[in-house]
Structure 1
Amino acid sequence: MATKVRWGILSTAQIAQAELLPAFMDASNAEVVAIASSNNKVNDIASKFGIPTIYGNYKELLEDPNIDAVYIPLPNALHSTWVKKAAEKGKHVFCEKPAALTEKQAEEMIEVCKKNNVMFMEAFMYQFHPQHKRVKEIIASGEIGDVKIMRVSLSFFLGDETQNIRMNQKLGGGSLYDVGCYCIHSIRNILHAEPNRVFASTQTDPNSQVDMSVTGIIELDNGVTAVFDAAMDRTRVGQYELIGTKGSIQVPRAFTPQIFNGEGQIVVIGENGDHRVEHTYGHQYTLEVEYFSGCVLKGEIPEHLMENTIRNMSAIDACIESIDKETLVNVPTRHSKITK
């Protein structure tokens, strides 16, 4: 029985170089056996990370019978095409977020994965850090009472990078797709609830017409309200806060604990202002790779993760509709059950 999943990487994307390739190297049950790119940097990257095989294009890599699964960090608009191509070649698929540009795209690509009996997971790495499980435990204990509102902020400063793919509408650029997707996912994940209605607004770049920031309000099916802001034109912030009837929880390192060597931080504040700080540790990218690789080795398709992708895209679709119509928008109800 195999003990490691053999991975292929499509492209030399920065996220692969900075976070995922080191994570693959650290993972106990994964190994990268090939990388594909026409970029001249591919040889240096393969040498740096000890990748034995280089392909000049993605199709050649997908034809390799020695590859079990692929990681796809391509521009957002290309995800759907290459997820389908990989699935049709029998490769399990680990795809960067957002997995698609619409709910319909997400449904179609996941259907192709199911038809070809391969697993699919969208790369929301933050959810694998243990701090979020601990937050859910604190909520369930009743310590902060009933949660009434959740606030999420995620931003970074892109600067004057007009050639960056995030500034290209045709490639699926913009703050909602790039960082807003995390905000929406974390709201649904932490509160274990789904949006009923959303309202969103943006500020756009006058030249590219890409949304540089987005602010949203989400009314959830459990009665909780959530507020989020995501931006590419502000200093780095990545945090969420839950406010209940008896106290609150602040998670200041919600999305990028790797900046602090994997240390998460949870601040629990009581009614009288008393507080405590809890620390949790974990390398979320490595944990993410190990989780999905474990699913592949066990042959257990994570159905709830596929459904999660579709539901997150449904909420993003509703935000886009709200932005266009400048009004509250209902989010369609999906009846399949998610077990988180």
Structure 2
Amino acid sequence: MSKVRWGVLSTAKIATVKVIPGMQKSAYCDMVGIASRSLENAQAAADKLGMPKAYGSYEALLEDPEIDAVYIPLPNHMHVPWAIQAIQAGKHVLCEKPIGLNVEEARHLQEIAESHPNLKVMEAFMYRHHPQWLKAREIVREGGIGKPVTIQSFFSYFNDNPHDIRNNNEWGGGGIMDIGCYPISVSRFILEGEPEKVIASVTRDEEFKTDVVASCMIDFGGLLTTFTCGTKLAPYQSVHIHGTEGRVELQIPFNAPPDRPCILWHQQGDEITEIETPTADQYTCQGDLMSQAILDDTDVPTPVSDAVANMEVIEAIFRSEKSGRWEAVSHVLANG
């Protein structure tokens, strides 16, 4: 069976603890090498993960003809620049979310990607590929909750480390960019459409200047979804999808465990059914789908156009934070 030869730009924790081990279980991924700005760090990570190659610079990895595709878990402000360099080096790209710092960056990446139609570029929203989310969308698609009315999401953790990149505002830190992007993506994924406008209330950290609590309403043409995210709250996550005739609740919507089944609940009227979905590593699923798209020359599940659309919502939320009113999901201001 053919496999895609993968390289990883950075020894970031998300890569070494979750993504690489997940992709190493894939039937279609060959995890060949990892790069760091320090060869010593790269070699240590490669040895620990059983990867044959280590590189002392990102450029060295991109120059290696034995690497077909790269996974980019760099800080947010480095996503687009290195994704573009990877594309120009002839590599397929799987890039962590959010795709960039703003819509302009995301659109620039889209233009570069479209100018290289032989290469696949995908945003790493891994949750979408887990069986629990495929089941949730199937229930909604088949009318299992009647007409969808609202989606309510919550996602939080506590992090007050001043040295953590997620607390660096200039590098795209803060809760909305880091975890608020998930509830936004969920609403678009489940409703299979794009919102018209948003309104948000945002609290910022006095020291870091990052958003630490944000509550947002997203209007899909009269159908409202809501979410709260926070970086100085007790760790918690939940998603509730409500309709005229039922609802779906996911127990662990975003950090699905790779070693046991996931549970979701489907309510129709007064009857609640507990549904157990198969054990799956969502990073393995993601690696499988991206690699299959490369091998078969088919579309990736989460293209850059989807990443641009998600970023448009994020940008509208930041505009609403400043204006205190509804903002259109575009560069045109909403009316009230």
Is 1:112 equivalent to 2:115 in the alignment? no
Matches within 5 A, 1:221-300: 221=221, 223-258=222-257, 261-272=259-270, 274-281=271-278, 282-300=280-298
Do structure 1's residue 8 and structure 2's residue 3 form an aligned pair?
no
Q: For 1:157-188, what per-residue CA distance to the aligned partner results, in whole angstroms no more than 9, with x for missing partners?
A: 22x31100001011110000000011100110
How far, CA to CA, are the matches of 1:7 and 1:142 in structure 2?
40
Does the residue aligned with 1:206 lie in a helix, a strand or coil?
coil
Q: Is the 8 A contact 2:126 2:286 kept in 1?
A: yes
Summarize the alignment of residues 58-77 of structure 1 with structure 2, pairs less than 5 Å apart: 58-77=58-77
CA distance in 1, matches of 2:30, 2:255: 24
- TM-score when normalising by structure 1: 0.93
Cα deviations by residue, 1:265-322 (Å, 9 ceiling, x for unpaired):
11122333x3111010221110001100111111224386221111001111111111
Deviations 1:2-22 (A, max 9, x none): 700001110100000111110
Who is 2:128 aligned against? Answer: 127
Superposed CA offset, 1:44-64 (max 9, x none): 210111211111111111111
> Can you list the C-alpha shifts for 1:62-109, whole angstroms capped at 9, x where unaligned?
111111000000000011110110000110000000011111111111
SS at match of 1:293: helix
Task: Tell me how far apart the structure 2 counterparts of residues 115 and 141 of structure 1 sit (CA, whole Å).
Answer: 38
Task: State the secondary structure of the residue aligned to 2:228.
Answer: strand
Query: Unpaired runs of 5+ in structure 2?
Result: 332-336
- Residues 1-340 of structure 1 aligned to structure 2 (within 5 Å): 3-39=2-38, 40-117=40-117, 118-158=119-159, 160-221=160-221, 223-258=222-257, 261-272=259-270, 274-281=271-278, 282-302=280-300, 305-332=303-330
Secondary structure at the aligned position of 1:195 is classed as coil
8 Å contact from structure 1 (residues 79, 99) kept in 2: yes
CA RMSD of aligned residues (A): 1.6
Q: Aligned equivalents of 1:332 and 1:210: distance in 2? A: 23
- Mapped to 2, the partners of 1:303 and 1:115 lie a distance apart of 19
Is the contact made by 2:122 and 2:301 (CA closer than 8 Å) also made in structure 1?
no
Encode CA deviations 1:114-158: one digit per residue, 9 max, x unaligned: 212311111100000111121122223323221111101111122
The 3 A distance-change label for structure 1 pair 89 and 329 is same
Match of 1:336 in 2: none
Calculate percent identity across the aligned residue pairs: 33
Moved more, 231-240 or 16-25: 231-240
Is the contact made by 1:88 and 1:113 (CA closer than 8 Å) also made in structure 2?
Answer: no
Residue identity opposite 1:219 in structure 2: D
The residue identity in structure 1 corresponding to 2:28 is N
Q: 2:240 is paired with a residue of what secondary structure? A: strand
Instruction: Give the AA of the match of 2:223.
Output: V
List, as ranges, runs of 4+ consecutive aligned residues in structure 1 with deviation greater than 6 Å.
none
Q: Distance in 2 between matches of 1:41 and 1:182?
A: 31
How far apart in 1 are the matches of 2:148 and 2:275? Answer: 19
Partners of 1:299 and 1:141 lie apart in 2 by 30
AA aligned opposite 1:134:
K
Counterpart amino acid of residue 275 in structure 1: I
87-96 or 133-142, larger mean C-alpha shift: 133-142
* CA distance in 2 between partners of 1:4 and 1:141 (Å): 35
AA at the equivalent of 1:300: T
Q: Give 1:226's aligned amino acid.
A: T
Determine the C-alpha separation between the residues in 1 that align with 2:110 and 2:51: 29
Distance 1:321 1:124, change over 3 A: same
The answer on whether the counterparts of 1:263 and 1:280 sit within 8 Å (CA) in structure 2 is yes
**TM-score (normalizing by structure 2):** 0.94
Unmatched 5+ stretches in structure 1:
334-340
SS in structure 1 of the partner of residue 54 of structure 2: strand
SS in 1 for 2:122: strand
The separation in 2 between residues aligned to 1:100 and 1:253, in whole angstroms, is: 26
Other structure's SS at 2:303 match: helix
d(CA) in 1 for partners of 2:260 and 2:113? 32
